[in-house]
Each structure stands twice: as structure tokens, then as C-alpha cells.
Structure 1
Amino acid sequence: MLKISGSTTLTLNINGEDRKVIAKPSDTLLHTLRKELGLTSVKPGCENGDCGACTVLVNNWPIKSCLMLTVEAMGKEILTVEGLKNAPIQKAFVEKWGFQCGYCTSGFLMVCHSLSKIHPDANDYVIQQWLESNLCRCTGYQEIEEAIKSVLTNKY
């Protein structure tokens, strides 16, 4: 069992690279990614798990980083938008206008990227269920849904 008190140096695997960070036991992954590592695609929104702006992938699954402690991320693979490196979903968001102000876009990109990997043949119901995890206050969801559908092997 890991026992941490005060600030401690931890090693996290972020975007395929081991990175050392200094974290307190109460630090959230959101705080560490933004403040310690400068990964600003991870957005603070509600900071209680409702909006999804802070979504990252942890072992390929979407996780709201405001709800995860940094220490819980040790030994796991964390992926942020900075690590996508021009994934098909990024191009699809541009082509389908899946953003407006852009604040929620990072979280949606991560959810959609994970969906395309875990459920490449997702039907409308599965897509809707996955998109419900994040909130967009500007565009609605039609363009975001069109973006994810354009990258799925199901080809709508």
C-alpha cells in the first residue's frame, strides 16, 4: 500500500511518456495535468463530474479527471488531447463543425476517440449513451454526433 503525506514525487504515464510530478494526496488529476504538466486541453468546468470538460482517457476509458486523485493514476496510461496527434476524430470535428466556443471540445474528443476504439460498430443508442457523459452549451450535439459517426467503421 502506498502511503503519502505532504507533497510527494510521483511518476505518471501521460501520452505515452513517463512524467514526474509533485502531488499532494488531495490533488486531483485535473489539477496535476494542468498546473504541474501544462496540459491545458484538460479543462476545469464544474469540477464535480457533471460537465465532462476535464475528460481524459485512463487505460483507454473516459474518466473525468476532476473526480480522480493524481495518486490513483499511478501505474495507468493517461491520454489527453495533446497525445491524440491528429487522430481521425480531430479531423472529423473540424469537418463536421463539432465545436463552437471550444471549451467542451477536448472532453468530447476524448469520449469520441475512446468510443471509436472500444465500440467501432456503435449504433445510435450506444453513441447517444456515450455522448450523454458530457455537456455542450453552445452547439447542441448534432454536429458532434455526425463527427463520431464519420469515423466509426459502421459508416452511417
Structure 2
Amino acid sequence: MKRLLSLKTVTLFYVTVLSQVADGGSLLKQGSGNGRQQLSCCQGDSILSCQEFDIDLSVLGDGDLFLEPLNTTLTFRGLVFMSSNSYNYGNDDVEFIITANVEKGSVYVHAAFDNGKSYVIEYCGDNTHVLKELDVQNLGSDEAPE
């Protein structure tokens, strides 16, 4: 029991230190909601996982971002087509596009990883955002029917 407690303490310390020393601000902060079953935007066959997060818009466009749930740091690459509300971040493994509505306090994000994984951050209303992992294999085709 003592060893298990020690392992939990070390893990918590590691996560805390990692999030503090990572380059850049943290866009996502653990949400206080009730979870996936309560949010309609988390329902669907193409969703592998869905977790509620709070968003910190103050870190956008100002250096690197750390995404704790995805354990990755992204470098700010610039605005998308010189838009004042769309940001391009990335690293060697992921392309990350953020569209923000500062007045509403909402964002929509798509993160495409080189390993084929795909995530979105979506505004679900009432100051609620979720991070969803998409089941890319079962999303269907973008091709028009013949």
C-alpha cells in the first residue's frame, strides 16, 4: 500500500512539474463537468473518447502551447490566411488549427497526427468545450456519391 501511494505521489508530481516547465501556456484545463454521458456533443458512433475541458484563450498566438491531455507541445506557426481568429500550431507529429471566437469564448480545433489519430476540440455551449478523439476509420468518405 505504501508503494502504491508513493507511485501516485511521484506520478502527480511528474504531471504537475511537466505542465509547469513545458514551453508555452496551457490551452486546456481539466473541466468540472459530469462527463461524456451528460453532453450531447459527446454522442456519436465516430467518437472514441470525449472529455470536458476549460479553455484559456489568453495563450493563443503567443508562443508555444502545451496540450497536457495529448502530452505534446506545439509551436505557433502563424495566423491562417492572415485571419485574426484562426491560428496554426504544430510540431513534427501534429498539425493543429484553432479557430477562436473571443467574444463568445469558444474555439473549434482540429488536430491531425502523423500516426493517423484525429482530435477535435468543440464548443458545446454554456462555456463547455470537449476534446474528442475521432474514429477516423469509421467516419465515412468525403467523396460525393456517384
TM-score past 0.5 threshold: no
Greater percentage in strand: 2
Greater percentage in helix: 1
Q: TM-score scaled to structure 2, two decimals?
A: 0.31
